[in-house]
Amino acid sequence: MPTLIWLPEMVEQAENFEKFFGDPKSKIRKERNIWLLNYRNQGSSDHHESYDMADVSADIIRFMNDNKLTMATIGGHGFGAKVAIATASANLD
């Protein structure tokens, strides 16, 4: 199945979207493998001093590499949408 990586607003946890994406009967759950990601320095994620867009985007690509995801739709809410666009724009291959 195609993969969707979903990124939250800067001040919210990805787990807040479990209700939206987590229902096993939802149509999107039937058609996509869904990953809900927190940013660096949030929750149990890695903690770093830098929080610039290039570093946050690199975290998404590192996550994809670590999980052997060669292609994914990246979307988000608020700041998450900005990260999604920056990540996609920097990695057009």
Q: What is the per-residue pLDDT across 35-47, written as a single tens digit (0 to 9) for each? A: 999 888 776 677 7
- Confirm whether 10 is domain-assigned: yes
**Residue 92 maps to a domain:** no
Residue 26 lies in a domain: yes
Report if residue 86 sits inside a domain.
no
Q: What is the mean pLDDT of residues 3-14?
A: 90
Instruction: Domain of residue 31: give its range.
Output: 3-73
Domain contains 83: no
Q: How many domains does the structure of the chain reveal?
A: 1
Q: Is residue 88 part of a domain?
A: no
Q: Cβ neighbours of residue 37 under 8 Å, at least 6 residues apart?
A: 5, 6, 7, 14, 60, 63
More confident residue, 85 or 49: 85
Reported as type and span, the H/E element at residue 34 is: strand 33-36
Q: Is position 8 within any domain?
A: yes
What mean pLDDT is reported for the chain? Answer: 87
Q: Is 74 exposed, middle or buried (0-12, 13-18, 19+ CB in 10 A)?
A: buried
Domain-embedded: residue 66: yes
